[in-house]
Structure 1
Amino acid sequence: MWRDAGEVEVGEAREMIPDMTVMSGAIMPDSPLRAERDRPFLIKYGKYLRGTFDRFIARFSLVSNNPVLDVRDFAWTQALRANWQAIRAEAIAAALDPHQAPSLAHISPDHRAIAPANKWRSFFLYGYGYFVEENLNRCPETTRLVESIPGLNSAFFSILAPGTHIPAHRGVTKGLITCHLGLVVPRDGDARMRIDDRVVRWSEGETLVFDDTYDHEVWNDTSGTRVVLLIQFRRPLRQPGRWFVDRFLAWIRHSAFVQDARANLIRWNRVVNSTN
């Protein structure tokens, strides 16, 4: 439950996923748990304020503000690359079960506009200071590695079905940086991401570090499922930028943006565990 703090061929899951909206009454894609007026102020109006806040944070950044960053600036990524096969084995054993990895659109009300239903799924380990104990227990090696990441904010397996397109979108704050570790990357087509004006492609066992506040979109134009370990961590900052980001993330943690997703995931796991 959410609490504080050899070549493998993988195709699209064919098992019927239980309808959690009927079984639990918990997830209603067209009816957010809270009224729109309760959505975080900066989520609702962030497009008007984002530029100002991002420029402020960029002034105090200790690493590049470019769309794609140099992995050598983040020494901990080497441990992920060195142990990627163990991480992949845990992802395949745990996260590819469609009962265990719900659609991101069902979990997060704020992702419904960009997350195609049952096409972009997620197996959460950590999120904004909360952890999913049963998921950590199923992935001990991954857990050990991500717990050593400085400034860890979120960690989950991101699972993209064949033929999926995630439209252009932007992250919440420049105070967070995103890292992808490629785990399962089909080779029979093109799995790629555009970040600003750059197009990048995943490689199994390699890390990609980028700033998701730049406009970005994703395609899986293959017949297989793409799996990455997605990590978000605090941007290294000088003061007072670090103080500002810490306060902002603490506020977001208690907002509907996080709490709605947390409540939905708790309900999903409760239903799945009760049927096993």
Structure 2
Amino acid sequence: MGLSNTLGLLSNDPGRPLHYRFFKRQRHRVNDQIAKSSLISNEAVFAPETFEWPQKVANHWQAIRDEAQAIYRHRDAIPPLREISPDHRGIVKDNAWRSFFLIGYGHRQEQNIARAPRTAELVSQIPGLNSAFFSILAPGSEITPHRGVTKAFITAHLGLVVPIRREKCWMRVGDHRLNWANGEWTIFDDTYEHEVKNETDETRIILLCQVERPLRAPGSWLAAGLMGYVRRSHFVREAKDNLTDWETAYAKAEREIA
């Protein structure tokens, strides 16, 4: 349910509303203004020390990992992201990328939060948190090159279960090739082209958070207006409905194993 695709991949459809297509045409100007208003750099990758919150969360990464692993026991009931957010079908061709949402576009998934209460408590302390979910990538899978459409957010990954040969499980962001590490954050601007490959025979699990970029006016006004629209859009409503269906399926899987 990333904004990169919610506004990006589907916005080529001429059947979309006029204001939707207007933003698509104007997104570069909007991003330029957001970049000028940014209180942090406009580089592709950020050091975690740029922000106050990453280490506070990373200090408890084992507790987050334990909740993620407990959830992963019912892996077949964890929804593929392409089924929650159909626009993601353009960047992943199968069900190899699964996502267990706690918060999506500010909307709390209370049943899922009850299954990962410590994680939810920790991420709720992140200023400007927009979304938080466990992102699960199957062995031998890939997410094809794509880019986000707005600089209003930064994306942060906390390594939880990283393959032993972590150099074979990587992400390229612009000119940077990055590898996850357990208990460490990888933070980047997803408007730079990025892709992911897991070239190992192990599953990769991370905590993915989408966080508001620190901004001054007028970029902060543009970002607030954009997100007000997105949170009310039918894309987010559709995703919420899909998550509700998957929550039911996950609860059934828990009962069957109990």
Deviations 1:231-252 (A, max 9, x none): 0010000011112101110100
**Aligned match for 1:257, one of 235, 251, 254:** 235
Unaligned 5+ segments in structure 2 are 1-9
Give, as a single letter, the amino acid of the residue that structure 1 aligns with 2:172.
R
CA contact (8 A) 1:40 1:257 kept: no
CA contact (8 A) 2:155 2:187 kept: yes
Matching residue of 1:242? 220
Write out aligned runs for 1:82-121 (5 A): 82-121=59-98
Give, as a single letter, the amino acid of the residue that structure 2 aligns with 1:185.
V
**Aligned match for 1:73, one of 37, 43, 50:** 50
2:90 is paired with a residue whose SS is coil
Give, as a single letter, the amino acid of the residue that structure 2 aligns with 1:214.
Y
Deviations 1:150-171 (A, max 9, x none): 0000000000000111000112
Write out aligned runs for 1:1-276 (5 A): 37-38=15-16, 42=20, 48-188=25-165, 190-274=168-252, 276=255
Cα distance in 2 for residues equivalent to 1:45 and 1:247 = 14
1:118 is paired with a residue whose SS is coil
- The 1:93–1:36 alpha-carbon spacing in structure 2 relative to 1, beyond 3 Å, is farther
2:15 is paired with a residue whose SS is helix
CA contact (8 A) 1:39 1:257 kept: no
Cα distance in 2 for residues equivalent to 1:36 and 1:116 = 24
Q: Give the total of aligned pairs.
A: 242
Cα distance in 2 for residues equivalent to 1:266 and 1:36 = 29
**What is the CA-CA distance between 1:274 and the residue it aligns to?**
4.7
Give, as a single letter, the amino acid of the residue that structure 2 aligns with 1:191.
C
**What is the CA-CA distance between 1:256 and the residue it aligns to?**
2.2
Give, as a single letter, the amino acid of the residue that structure 2 aligns with 1:210.
F
Cα distance in 2 for residues equivalent to 1:120 and 1:240 = 36
Deviations 1:238-269 (A, max 9, x none): 01111210111010011122111111111222
CA contact (8 A) 1:115 1:166 kept: yes
**What is the CA-CA distance between 1:38 and the residue it aligns to?**
4.6
Cα distance in 1 for residues equivalent to 2:231 and 2:117 = 25
- Percentage identity across aligned positions? 47
Bigger helix share: 2
- The 1:48–1:124 alpha-carbon spacing in structure 2 relative to 1, beyond 3 Å, is same
- The 1:130–1:79 alpha-carbon spacing in structure 2 relative to 1, beyond 3 Å, is same
Cα distance in 2 for residues equivalent to 1:45 and 1:168 = 25
CA contact (8 A) 2:74 2:250 kept: no
Unaligned 5+ segments in structure 1 are 1-31
Cα distance in 2 for residues equivalent to 1:39 and 1:114 = 24
CA contact (8 A) 2:105 2:130 kept: yes
Give, as a single letter, the amino acid of the residue that structure 2 aligns with 1:200.
L
- The 1:263–1:236 alpha-carbon spacing in structure 2 relative to 1, beyond 3 Å, is same
- The 1:46–1:151 alpha-carbon spacing in structure 2 relative to 1, beyond 3 Å, is same
